[in-house]
Structure 1
């Protein structure tokens, strides 16, 4: 009931507005009509036709002027209905006058069709006004010209009335349906905004045409640093400066409409990671992109810690075999730069375990690993291959540079022995394999070559000690 009352108010305002425009148009045209009337009066021998026609135009001009003068102060519904009824009656009288001179009633039909299509009158009221005018017109014709109205003419004019009623009914129902759709759209818009601003997560709405932010909630303002002064500087590029990534995402959205759990770096505050959910929708009759954000920085930190833990050797803290193999495979996949593998084997570990216990053997492994780690740069890696074996990965390095690296490492081990930090000698054997771009060797084959070279080095050391 409330929506019906609101529609009636909206309908009356629309009707008054269109009547106002029609009245202004008619007032501008009536002087032309009067000039035409004067010309007709001079050219026709029958003043009984021209004088009523001029009178009709003068009365119409007076009605239009009165409506414009009083439509704000008089009850608008009564004034509008009376005004329309008088104009339909005026059209009927004008057609009656034309029928006497020319035998047609076009003015009446034109006014009926104009009122039905241009003025949103309630169908019942329109049918009542048009029906009364139609009965008066036909009654006048039958009374003053009983033999001039044929059955076909009667059917045609009555059919015109019926057509105008159908047109009025169609337009009125369309208007009502359109208004209901607008009300529903506004209600959905209010509900959307209510949910949008009440969302506990950062949410932004971006227009796809301009790529600018339309709406953002309080949480998005805090998360991205958006405020009324800076909102114009934010756009879709703030989330995706990489055009290729942006185009790929929008292309995927056109097919799927929604994308969930898209992980990316927060480009506004680089310390944060965020998970984005995207959805295409229409807002104010424009294509828009709804982006909801979840801060996953803490989860990414935990994930990184877990990955770090999973890739580290428990005893020494250096990378484990799985992580080390992956590093080598990554370099092989790139295949554009040389690198070296240094196979390391801790000497005399079995004797240390037998004579001093396995705990001391573990300490020896840890000492060798820490000494190698302190010799590495940021771009070089050490991983435990297993037991007392390690592999040093030296990217962008040729054999001579790898040998120089091992000389430095040997000097550090010598200084450890000179410091008498242990009662047993601290030593290791080394083997090198140098990779050159274009090589077809696998990771396993390269490690095997470095292992064999290490074994030769160890045998040479034993022979030298024996001699």
Structure 2
């Protein structure tokens, strides 16, 4: 009863337009099944002829034999006529043909059940069985599922005809009652089965319709999206759908995805493994910063990923926003925020940050370095005598000479004014002093060439650090600064010994 209630509720809840749409679909489905039954009936006509001949030779009643042969002949003729009708009707798709199909389906199903009733009534003359009626009623309920009101009419009318015919030809009252009860129960069960099939077919129809509508809406949103969107197969990363913005971002022509590899091949940073793992665990991930390289075009994007079912495959829906220009601007700002504008080397903030990172690293593994505190000599003299622009040139030249002698892993930054720090990474005092001597030698060679009207000079102080030393960054710099100051004072005294006291200002 609950099934009947749900089925009736489903029928009532649909509008006339939806009901007509489903009926048109259902009638075409029934029509195609009638075609299959008609073909089967024509192919079995030889078998029917053989069976009729066998029954007649076994001494069947004349009326029974004539009726049986006539019914089989009529069924073959009707099947052939229907096949001709079917070929004609499928070539046209207008409202008038829809009504013709509906009428033809209803008439055929009614006659189909009637044929079963007539066969079983005729069988009372020879075998007394009602199998034909029962079988065809069940086939009609399962295969030719029409509107419940139509099926109810067909079953009731044909069952009344069947009961009347059986009542006339069956002389055994007990056997008659058994046939009436059994056939009525089976007819009722057949109607219930037909009703259930009809309800499921209607549910499936509207479910598929909803899926198609959702897919159409999805496609509209997908292709109209102002941001790049594409769909990739989860198993191999192959792009199977992309909107215009995505084509433009990837630098390929619309529709030309066959030559485009799996999207994972274009992820250039180490986030690919993490991305796949997160999708595996959560089926989606949002606002990820990903770097892509599309055929040499580097792109930074903010990406959202979600696993979806698309065309019966597990796929990844990806929506991205190109932030390449924003990223470039950030990198440029970061560069300017960490670089000294005059010398092009790191500024104090970035240099001290690198030193702090180096000290943290030394807590986990053995590490040694030499910090060199550097002060440019006679910079004030150059500024006062030749102007600040020449002083800037002096600083730039000295920094360029130093950079040429440093390794890639070394750190070199400006503390401020005429003070600089060099960190000779993974070197001891002796190695650091050797490098400083090479730098100083370059100063001397330049001074000999008299490229500038003044000498390029600098004082330095070294402090060696290695893992295990209990000292902080401030004290390291302080000790190197003290060593630098001592050297500066020594050089000043040496210079005073060789020159007049009036030249003190050059230091």
- What TM bracket, shorter-length normalisation? 0.7 to 0.9
Q: Is the 8 A contact 2:401 2:442 kept in 1?
A: no
C-alpha distance in 1, partners of 2:167/2:494?
142
Counterparts in 2 of 1:212-291, with a 5 A limit? 212-227=238-253, 228-240=255-267, 245-268=271-294, 269-291=296-318
Task: Find out whether 1:56 has 2:71 as its counterpart.
Answer: yes
Distance in 1, Cα, partners of 2:491 & 2:47:
122
1:136-151 equivalences in 2 (<5 Å): 136-145=161-170, 147=173, 149-151=175-177
1:10 alignment partner in structure 2: 25
Gaps of 5+ in 1: none
Q: How far 1:466 sits from its partner (Å)?
A: 7.3
Aligned residue in 2 for 1:197: 223
Shift in Å at residue 433 of structure 1? 5.1
Aligned residue for 2:297, secondary structure, equals coil
Question: Is the CA contact (8 Å cut-off) linking 1:14 and 1:120 kept in structure 2?
Answer: no
For normalisation by structure 2, the TM-score amounts to 0.78
Q: Distance in 2 between matches of 1:309 and 1:210?
A: 41
Following the alignment from structure 1 to structure 2, what is the Cα–Cα distance between the partners of residues 124 and 220?
Answer: 53
Aligned ranges 1:38-437 → 2 under 5 Å: 38-43=53-58, 46=61, 49-73=64-88, 75-145=100-170, 147=173, 149-209=175-235, 211-227=237-253, 228-240=255-267, 245-268=271-294, 269-313=296-340, 317-328=344-355, 333=361, 340-347=370-377, 367-368=394-395, 370-377=397-404, 379=408, 380-385=410-415, 388-395=418-425, 402-414=432-444, 419=450, 427-432=457-462
Structure 1 position 414, deviation (Å) = 4.0
Contact 1:205 1:291 in 2 (8 A): yes
Q: Residues 451-462 of structure 1 correspond to what in structure 2 (within 5 A)?
A: 451=481, 454=484, 457-458=487-488, 461=491
CA distance in structure 1 between the aligned counterparts of 2:443 and 2:357, rounded to whole angstroms: 31
SS at match of 1:233: coil
**In 2, are the aligned partners of 1:345 and 1:389 still within 8 Å (CA)?**
yes
Residue 115 to residue 222, structure 1, CA distance change in 2 (3 Å): same
1:35 corresponds in structure 2 to 50
Deviation string, structure 1 residues 44-92 (Cα, Å, up to 9, x no partner): 5655555533433332222211211223446322222222211111101
In the alignment, what sits opposite 2:5? Answer: none
CA distance in 2, matches of 1:29, 1:463: 126
Using the TM superposition, give the Cα deviation of residue 383 of structure 1 relative to its aligned residue in structure 2, in angstroms: 1.0
Alpha-carbon distance, 1:135 to partner:
0.3
Shift of 1:140: 1.4
Secondary structure of the 1:260 match is strand
| Residue-by-residue CA offset, 1:98-134 (whole Å, 9 max, x unaligned) | 3444443121111111111112312211111121110
> CA–CA distance in 2 between the matches of 1:400 and 1:386?
27
Contact 1:341–1:393 (Cα < 8 Å) also in 2: yes
SS of match in other structure, 2:231: strand
8 Å Cα contact 2:268-2:291 kept in structure 1? no
Q: Which residue of 1 aligns with 2:96?
A: none
Q: SS where residue 71 of structure 1 aligns?
A: helix
In 1, Cα distance between equivalents of 2:234 and 2:274: 14
How much has 1:455 moved relative to structure 2?
5.4
Indicate the larger mover: 289-298 or 207-216. Answer: 207-216
Paired with 2:74 and 2:277, the residues of 1 have a C-alpha distance of 65
Flag the 1:36–1:341 CA change in 2: closer, same or farther, 3 A.
farther
Could you tell which deviates more after superposition, 399-408 or 439-448?
A: 439-448
Instruction: Say yes or no: does 1:22 pair with 2:37.
Output: yes
Q: Secondary structure at the match of 1:393?
A: strand
1:373 positional shift: 3.3
Aligned residues: 461
* Aligned-partner Cα distance in 2 for 1:5–1:363: 93
CA contact (8 A) 1:373 1:382 kept: no
